[in-house]
Amino acid sequence: MKPLNVEICDVTLRDGEQTPGVSYTCQEKVNIAEKLDEIGVEVIEAGFPNISEQERACVKTVKKLGLDARICCLSRALKEDVDAAIDCDVDLVSIFFATSDLHIRVKYKKSREEMLEYALSMVDYAVDHGLNVRFSAEEGSRTDIGFLKEMFRQGAERKAAYSSIADTVGCLTPIEMYDIVKELLPELKNPLCVHCHNDMGFASANTITAAQAGAFQLHTTVNGIGERAGNASLEEVLVALRMKGGVDRYDLTKLHEVSKIVEEYSGIKVAKTKAVVGDHAFAHESGIHIAAILKDPATYEYFTPEMVGGERRFILGKHTGRKALAHVVSSLGCELSMNETNWVLEQVKEKSEGKCTITPKMLLKLIKRSKECA
């Protein structure tokens, strides 16, 4: 399989911080950025420097870390925003304006042509000051495709390094994303970026589909945090790139670590069933599954927990079988006879049906009692 030609722009420090109630300290942003750099993320969007002096100082701090990743920031198509990006000396500035007719009518009260011309003047201004520009269509997924083509054509003529389309309200399905990318690419003169939101739960799927259709820069956040329902998940996208896209240059063993860091700093708990990094991502209860996994983990794990820095766990409950119980008991340094095993298994099923979690401490108590009761 020929590897997909992609790079990652992680926006945890910017869009991730736009999650309601989330605010990072500068040191927290530094810690996250350093971990993303260790993973091998090519571009880190460090913030929106014109929103405050503190934010600007933090973007500067991340830029001065000397990371291998290039540092990006966000800018509206406004001179004061571009000036803030220039002041931060970032490697890439994302200059955006909302391109859908709905947003142009509601937010700007100007014509498409007026908005495009002013945005292009900001591209010129940034390029003239030595910045690489990502020319971005907010609401690109609900924008007339002809206008997108014209916008990106003129942006490339003004030396924008990238063209970018945002599915701002997460309205696309993977098939729709594929079609849009395929229609845009033949006329693009620079690489295409995609920025996907998760309002219908398709952000990661749309991002991978865009890559398979030929998009180059993929936007992600750790744990999929971000505005409303969040963004494409870094861990999901990187695993999909490894398993389905032939891309093996990222250090996936650090995914659980960075997930825990962002969970702590953001205060946004990761769902137990979250793909890749959730507590139950590699947890098994079914006796049928565990019996097979003990012989060959590939039977019920498409990728290993070790690959992403996680660990396999066997959970005792109503679906547990004897082999699973014997394995867990052995891992605790204990042994049970057949009668003792049967008694403990009966107790495990009975308690779990009453919504009681079987902790190692509780299991040890059951093992001790089995010696007396069995």
For residue 100, the 8-state DSSP code is S
Same domain? For 93 and 121 the reply is yes
pLDDT over 90 (residue 90): yes
Could you identify the residue written with the tokens 């990502």? 134
pLDDT over 60 (residue 254): yes
Same domain? For 224 and 364 the reply is no
Same domain? For 48 and 193 the reply is yes
Sign of the CA dihedral with 112 first, then 117, 123, and 125 last: negative
Domain that holds residue 111: 7-266
Taking the alpha carbons at both ends of the chain, their separation in whole angstroms is: 57
Model-level pTM? 0.91
Domain assignment present for residue 2? The answer is no
Domain assignment present for residue 278? The answer is no
Residue among 230, 240, 136, 149 nearest 189 (CA): 149
Same domain? For 313 and 356 the reply is yes
314-332 pLDDT tens trace: 777 667 767 777 777 677 6
Q: What CATH number did the domain enclosing 19 receive?
A: 3.20.20.70
Same domain? For 105 and 175 the reply is yes
Domain assignment present for residue 56? The answer is yes
Assess contact for 277 and 310: CB atoms under 8 A. yes
Domain assignment present for residue 275? The answer is no
Provide the residue type at 70 as one letter.
R
Percent of the chain with pLDDT over 90: 75
In whole angstroms, how large is the CA radius of gyration of the chain?
Answer: 25
62-78 pLDDT tens trace: 999 999 999 999 999 99
Reading the block at residue 60, the tokens are 């500067």
Which of 214, 240, 266 lies at the terminal end of a domain, its last residue? 266
pLDDT over 70 (residue 185): yes
Determine the Cα–Cα distance for residues 174 and 201; give it in Å rounded to an integer.
11
